Amino acid sequence: TNATSGGELIFGGADPSKYTGSITYISVSIEGYWEFPMASVSVGSTSISSSTYAIADTGTTLIVGPTAQVDSLNGAIGATYDSSSQLYTVDCHTRSLSSFPNITFTIGDTVFILKPLQYLWITGDQSAGYICYSVFSPSDSTDSNGNLFWILGDFFLYRYYSVFDIQNNRVGFSTSISYDWMPTVGSSLFPTSSTTTHPSTSTMKTTTHPTTSTM
């Protein structure tokens, strides 16, 4: 309970002190991994995926999606593939933070937004240097119907409170009270201006390779 970045598992109900607003529920489409339909994934105003499927998994660190879709997403945020880490990296040394777009997941009729510092994984320090990774990792996982699906791992679940309602066979999400928490960013990162053209920020309102665990 004293962890600076911890989690909590509650059996038998939800804790309203841990989230804000209402819970959006979506019916489970395939049991076992609590798979559910996801309406779309967008980068800014650009659609990356529509009418897809997803699971929410605390056993996966990153956010994993079908290769073609994740490649397009990372391209849209200006990320490049790093073969040594097998992850995508972004230039956070010469790009301004405002040059990175928001990323939106639409579940049911509700949008769930990740801001740039919520989907960038910053490692290293001032003396050794920083590396900024995209938390979106490609993997062509298929369900029992042969459909590709996304895995919404810890970088999504940090921000959104999740409910697994076995009685009604549905999954629910709401904005976590820790949604606005942001990591500490080194002073050498994200200059206030950039001479390079990059994707603009959306105006919508509203270790290592991850492994999947059976919930």
The enclosing domain of 140 has a CATH number of 2.40.70.10
Is 64 domain-assigned?
Answer: yes
Q: 20 in a domain, yes or no?
A: no
Residue 189 falls inside a structural domain: no
Q: Is residue 212 part of a domain?
A: no
Predicted local distance difference test score (pLDDT) of residue 128:
82
Average pLDDT along the chain? 88
Calculate mean pLDDT across residues 20-49: 96
Residue 81 clears pLDDT 70, i.e. is over it: yes
Range of the domain at 141: 26-179
126 in a structural domain: yes
For residue 16, being part of any structural domain is answered with no
- As for how many domains the chain has, the answer is 1
> How far is residue 95's CA from residue 148's CA, in Å, rounded to a whole number?
33
* pLDDT confidence of residue 199: 39
- Is 198 inside a domain boundary? no
Query: So what's the pLDDT on residue 154?
Result: 95
In a domain, 196, yes or no: no
pLDDT grade for 124, boundaries at 50, 70 and 90: confident
